[in-house]
Amino acid sequence: MPSILISIYILYKFIVDRQFCSHINNHSIIAMIIISFIDTTTELPITLQYLRVGYVQPDAKTFCLFWICVTWLSTFDWITNVLLLSVSIPFASKSLLARVLFQAKKMKRILTWRSTRKLTLQLMVISILYLLF
């Protein structure tokens, strides 16, 4: 219930305040809030009801198919937005670091380890923070 109220409040603030609506960057945030609101009001109560009672309340075939479809979309969303990025970010960070080292060696330049170390540290901190949160 609190998440529904907060979603409505945030959506209200985004829509009423013309400063937020006028920026094109905020349109994607509004779309994400709407999708989150739909997910919170449809799939979450069904799951909570199933976990509480142990069976699907209206045991109609179309309702079960709807629930399976929504759950499948949520799983697909999690795989593409969480799992795939969690695997690709460390790989991309290591390949970027390897590219910097390779380019320096290819150009026969002396590496300034101070800047390379700073780049490596920043890259690792950002990757670790992303993976943690």
CA 73 to mean position of chain CA atoms: 14
Residues written for the chain: 133
> pLDDT, tens digit, for every residue of 114-124?
777 887 888 88
Tokens of 109: 């330049």
Q: State the Cα–Cα distance between residues 70 and 43, nearest whole angstrom.
A: 7
Terminal Cα distance for the chain, rounded: 24
Q: State the Cα–Cα distance between residues 98 and 128, nearest whole angstrom.
A: 18
What are the residue boundaries of the structural domains of the chain, listed by start? 2-93
> pLDDT, tens digit, for every residue of 61-98?
998 898 888 888 888 888 988 888 888 888 888 888 88
Tell if the pTM clears 0.95, that is, is over it. no
> pLDDT, tens digit, for every residue of 101-111?
788 777 777 76
Does residue 14 contact residue 20 with C-beta atoms inside 8 Å?
yes
